[in-house]
């Protein structure tokens, strides 16, 4: 039961304006991903912002969010990278934030041909931004088998191991036994918290804290998945149907990184074919069948996003 609390959650990435993230919510968990929380009459918001301008952190945030807020105050290479990243991840809902009296047509032209062309364009007024976010309709999949994505984990003295994360699909219940990936072991959900309140269950879209039995913090690092049997799987070698970033040069075999969900691991491109690539991963990753993989070149001087793909075999 929900104990009378049926409010919808919305996870929002805020890019290139840390001050705006602080204005939109109250500071919560802080690491290389900064989190800010806000509860309104309509929704509970979790705002996520990168603490530093790193594509690995931005890709992790992009995998977790329902919508994006992107500041267009400074048009830089990093801004262009964010546009390409959100486009590759298929983030359809969002807002482009302009300085007061800025040229809307210029910004619209810069994102033309990307998924961001459907974003709202607003001036930097937090109240209006919140109103726009409150009106966004997000489809939730509460009927599929449960998957929870972990973004932080820690031990609480005298209590046990806790993970923070988002329910990607399905509904997690207190006392559920779930499979932890890629550690590949069963764990027990001892309790569920949202906004410092205890609940018996949490549906897709919810931001949760779960008290976990039978796993260590080390085994539940960021990007780990807690899932019902068959809802996700692991692999250390994958073949992807692949779409190259048009701004990246030819893809050749060699060393890269792969981002999937909130995991980033070194990877070797072992073969490149027409429309597909095969990767060997330094360590296994957990993923859902519908999950997008990003290929990253962290050593590139300019363009770090190589392209995107989905698993066709592993």
Domain residue ranges in the chain = 8-134, 147-227, 233-313
Query: Both tokens of residue 225?
Result: 């998945």
Query: Both tokens of residue 44?
Result: 């509970």
Fold category of 233-313 in CATH: Elongation Factor Tu (Ef-tu); domain 3 (2.40.30)
3-state secondary structure the chain: CCCCCCCEEEEEEEECCHHHHHHHCEEEEECCEEEEEEECCCEEEEEEEECCCCHHHHHHHHHHCCEEEEECCCCCHHHHHHHHHHHHHCCCEEEEEECCCCCHHHHHHHCCCCHHHHCEEEECCHHHHHHHHHCCCCCCCCCCCCEEEEEEEEEECCCEEEEEEEEEECEEECCCEEEEECCCEEEEEEEEEECCEEECEEECCCEEEEEEECCCCHHHCCCCEEECCCCCEEEEEEEEEEEECCCCCCCCCEEEEEEECCEEEEEEEEEEECCEEEEEEEEEEEECCCCCEEEECCCCCCCCEEEEEEEEEC
* pLDDT score for 104: 87
Q: CA 13, 18, 23, 28: dihedral to nearest 10 degrees?
A: 70
Rounded distance between C-alpha atoms, residue 285 and residue 268, angstroms = 14
Residue 226 forms beta bridges with which residues?
148, 180
- Cα distances (angstroms) measured from residue 213 to each of 18, 155, 191, 216: 35, 11, 10, 8
* pLDDT score for 8: 87
* pLDDT score for 7: 64
0.85 cut: is pTM over it?
yes
* pLDDT score for 1: 28
Domain 147-227 - what CATH class? Answer: mainly beta
* pLDDT score for 198: 95
* pLDDT score for 268: 98
Pick the CATH number of 8-134 from 1.10.10.350, 3.30.950.10, 3.40.50.300, 3.40.50.2300: 3.40.50.300
- Cα distances (angstroms) measured from residue 191 to each of 9, 173, 177, 220: 19, 8, 12, 16
Q: Give yes or no on whether 147-227 and 233-313 have one common fold.
A: yes
Tens digit of pLDDT at every position of the chain (314 positions) = 233 345 689 999 999 999 999 999 999 999 999 999 999 888 999 999 999 999 999 999 999 999 999 999 988 999 999 999 999 999 999 999 998 777 888 888 889 999 999 999 999 999 999 999 999 989 999 999 999 999 999 999 999 999 999 999 999 999 999 999 999 999 999 999 998 899 999 999 999 999 999 999 999 999 999 999 999 999 999 999 999 999 999 999 999 999 999 999 999 999 999 899 999 999 999 999 999 999 999 999 999 999 999 999 87
């Amino acid at each position: 039961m929900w104990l009378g609390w049926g409010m919808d959650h919305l996870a929002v990435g805020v890019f290139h304006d840390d001050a705006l993230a602080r204005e939109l919510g109250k500071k919560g968990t802080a690491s290389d991903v900064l989190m800010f929380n806000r509860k309104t009459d309509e929704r509970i918001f979790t705002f996520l912002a990168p603490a530093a301008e790193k594509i690995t952190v931005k890709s992790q945030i992009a995998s977790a969010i329902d919508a994006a807020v992107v500041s267009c105050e400074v048009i830089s290479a990093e801004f262009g990278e964010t546009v390409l990243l959100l486009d590759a991840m298929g983030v359809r809902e969002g807002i482009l934030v302009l300085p007061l009296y800025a040229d809307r047509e210029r910004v619209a032209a810069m994102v033309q041909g990307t998924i961001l062309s459907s974003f709202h364009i607003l001036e930097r007024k937090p109240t209006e931004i919140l109103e726009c976010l409150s009106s966004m309709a997000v489809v939730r999949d509460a009927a599929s088998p449960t998957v929870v994505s972990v973004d932080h984990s820690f031990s609480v003295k005298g209590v046990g191991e806790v993970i923070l994360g988002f329910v990607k699909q399905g509904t997690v219940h207190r006392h559920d036994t779930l499979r932890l990936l890629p550690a590949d072991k069963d764990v027990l959900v001892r309790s569920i918290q949202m906004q410092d309140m205890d609940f018996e269950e949490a549906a897709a879209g919810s931001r949760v804290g779960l008290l976990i039995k039978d796993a260590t913090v080390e085994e539940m690092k960021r990007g780990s998945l807690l899932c019902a049997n068959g809802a996700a799987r692991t692999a250390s070698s994958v073949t992807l149907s692949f779409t190259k970033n048009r701004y990246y040069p030819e893809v050749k075999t060699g060393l890269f990184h792969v981002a999937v969900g909130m995991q980033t691991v070194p990877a070797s491109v072992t073969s490149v074919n027409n429309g597909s690539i095969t990767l060997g991963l330094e360590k296994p990753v957990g993923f859902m069948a519908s999950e997008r993989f990003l290929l990253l070149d962290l050593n590139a001087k300019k363009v770090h996003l190589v392209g995107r793909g989905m698993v066709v075999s592993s």
